[in-house]
Amino acid sequence: MQASRKVGKQAADREPAEAEQSAEAAFASYAAPLVDAAIEHANEVHEDASPEALHKLRVSLRRLRSLWWAFEPLLEKGGNTRQRALYKYLATAAGKTRDWDILIALIAGNERIAPELSPQLQAVRGDALATSRETLSNAGVKRLLQDALSSASKELNTAHERVPLQTFVEQRVAASERSLKKRIKRASRAKRSNYTAFHDVRKAGKKVRYLLEFFEPVLSGNHKRVLKRLKRIQKRFGTLNDIVASEMLLRDNVDLLAGSGDTDAALRWFRKERKRRMRAAAGLLRKL
């Protein structure tokens, strides 16, 4: 599923200065908007309790993590690893509440599951939101992200060597595509019960998609077809992930929900739906 490397109209229309820019010099132009967006979404979470606010924050942090991965060969290895771990930690903090939102939505939209569960789920979700907000507030997201941007920019701007931006991003996109292909092959051979292999495809697909979205103006060729395939993967495997994560969340919190509804019926439905979604994901893999 490797993207085309032929020079098309998009490459011909590229600004000369952009094509000749070094990867080191271009880093801040990619990172700064992502940092600003993540800070903005982190602030919104403290004012807006909606599922959408949390989702935007988690996505912005995932995009930052992918960008730091892209520039990994040019950054000090230890610092880059720590920074990506930080983004993952912050995304997980937001994700704990987001996971409850997904579970609530799935149960609310299913007539087979007793609606008595919903009020108790909302209460637990409220507690999770308070914890997410506290974690993000204590972390000092704005300072952490601005310091990360400043440190990485300084490191790259003082580097002795310079790598042409186009050459660099072509190599990094190709590396992400190879990783995705490897994970697709592994998942295709895995047993249906091996959800981790399917989840790895989803994560690798997201990384390729983010990199193509970051660097599309610089890359040669047209990547619309590749992006379309990646969106199919993300949709199919994202639905599977929602089912698996919700089932696990419900199973891990059965005691909290005792007496609020028929959790056994809900778990039976999730188990059945997980198997159906696994078959659908495996079917898509055979077509890739």
What per-residue confidence (pLDDT) applies to 206?
Answer: 95
- CA 67, CA 86: separation in Å to the nearest integer? 13
For tokens 């993207």, the residue is: 3
Q: How does pLDDT run across 32-74, given as a tens digit for each residue?
A: 999 999 999 999 988 888 888 889 999 999 999 999 999 999 9
Model confidence at 8, pLDDT cuts 50, 70, 90, reads very low
For tokens 């619309």, the residue is: 224
Q: Which residues pair with 22 in a beta bridge?
A: 164
Contact 1, 226 (CB under 8 A): yes
Q: 14 versus 58: which is more confidently predicted?
A: 58
Contact 61, 141 (CB under 8 A): no
- CA 32, CA 36: separation in Å to the nearest integer? 6
What per-residue confidence (pLDDT) applies to 18?
Answer: 55
| Domain range annotation of the chain | 23-163, 164-288
What per-residue confidence (pLDDT) applies to 245?
Answer: 94
Which range is least confidently modeled, 22-31, 106-115, 129-138, 263-272? 106-115
Residue 2 has pLDDT above 50, yes or no: no
User: Element (H or E) spanning 152, and its range?
Assistant: helix 141-157
What per-residue confidence (pLDDT) applies to 46?
Answer: 86
Architecture of domain 23-163: Up-down Bundle (1.20)
**DSSP-based three-state secondary structure for 288:** coil
Model confidence at 19, pLDDT cuts 50, 70, 90, reads low
Contact 181, 207 (CB under 8 A): no
Contact 187, 15 (CB under 8 A): no
Q: How does pLDDT run across 98-121, given as a tens digit for each residue?
A: 899 999 888 887 776 656 677 788
